[in-house]
Amino acid sequence: MAFTEITGFTEVAAGVFVLRYPVLDCNVTLVSGEGGALVVDTLSTAAQAAFLLGEIRKITPDPLTVVNTHHHFDHCFGNAAFTGSEIWAHEANAARVQVKPEIRIREVYEEFGALDGMTGLDEVTIVPPTRTVRSAEVLDVGGRLVTLRYLGRGHTDNDLVVTVDGAVLTGDLIEEGAAPSFGDSYPLEWAETVAAVLELCGDGPVVPGHGAVVDKAFVAAQHADLAAVDWAIRDGHADDSPQEAVAARLVKQWALLSPEQATLAVKRGYAELSGRA
């Protein structure tokens, strides 16, 4: 998806809108109730978040509550645009974002600052969550009940899954168009966590952290891919296979998985199995 293809929110279920932002193909979801609305994830920079807020205000003038699905910059560095709103996240997210924010901004800038649309990434003000979830919370958003759940470690140690009226918002536990990112992942637990996500899915839309809106069948397929990663790592470790060999096998099995991500997955899995994680 090119940066020039930027569009506003699309309604994917009654009062549930998704904005697919072209930089990193990142999704933001808006749940609109009567007198209140919920924004799930806030993009990467002040300019991106200002654009987002403008699009939100085309749909609702109501007070906003914010959820960050996890601590990665492309889901929470826009928080400063929502000052005054409650910002919900998992408690491990809250702990992470307050550790050396200036170092984190520099690292993220070095990796992503050159991308189109990332101007100002080095000048972000990190705003931590104001409310935290341990296992589950139900929010009343303008009369709509929205549930935030922590289902276990996976893409990170703080992925929240949001459900409202049959729609399931997975954050980066599920990604469309690219394989999920393994840099901060728990590859030996991720599949199990996604199995729990699958139980929440019915006929409604599933909004992944990145890419097109998908459905339960897509989640089932990604569960199978993640389970294959899990088992390949366990088998490789049990057989003393070199990490590179396991990573190469994974890339062959899962077409979307890049060699870099496969290498990260195996490295993190082996470290855990060797008691070094």
Please tell me the distance from the alpha carbon of residue 213 to that of residue 228, in angstroms, as a whole number: 23
Q: Give me the least distance between CB of 156 and Zn ion, in Å please.
A: 7
| Nearest CB to Zn ion, comparing residues 72 and 96 | 72
Could you say which residues in the range 142-201 bind Zn ion, by CB under 5 A? 172
| Nearest CB to Zn ion, comparing residues 36 and 154 | 154
Question: Which letter does DSSP use for residue 60 in this model?
Answer: -
Q: Give me the least distance between CB of 183 and Zn ion, in Å please.
A: 8
Could you say which residues in the range 61-90 bind Zn ion, by CB under 5 A? 72
Q: Taking CA 175 as the corner, what is the angle to CA 41 and CA 17, rounded to the nearest 5 degrees?
A: 45
Q: Give me the least distance between CB of 66 and Zn ion, in Å please.
A: 17
CA distance readout (Å), 142 to 70, 73, 170 = 24, 28, 22
CA distance readout (Å), 225 to 97, 128, 195 = 30, 33, 12
| Nearest CB to Zn ion, comparing residues 26 and 141 | 26
Please work out the total of residues on this chain that contact Zn ion, with binding judged by CB under 5 A: 2
H/E stretch holding 63 reads: none
CA distance readout (Å), 129 to 3, 83, 90, 97 = 29, 11, 9, 9
Q: Give me the least distance between CB of 193 and Zn ion, in Å please.
A: 14
3-state SS, one letter per residue, for 79-135: HHHHCCCCEEEEHHHHHHHCCCHHHHHHHHHHHHCCCCCCCCHHHCCCCCCCEEECC
Q: Give me the least distance between CB of 68 and Zn ion, in Å please.
A: 11
CB 32, CB 74: distance < 8 Å: no
| Nearest CB to Zn ion, comparing residues 42 and 60 | 42
| Nearest CB to Zn ion, comparing residues 44 and 85 | 44
CB 182, CB 265: distance < 8 Å: yes
| Nearest CB to Zn ion, comparing residues 37 and 173 | 173
Q: Give me the least distance between CB of 28 and Zn ion, in Å please.
A: 14
Binding residues for Zn ion, per CB under 5 A? 72, 172
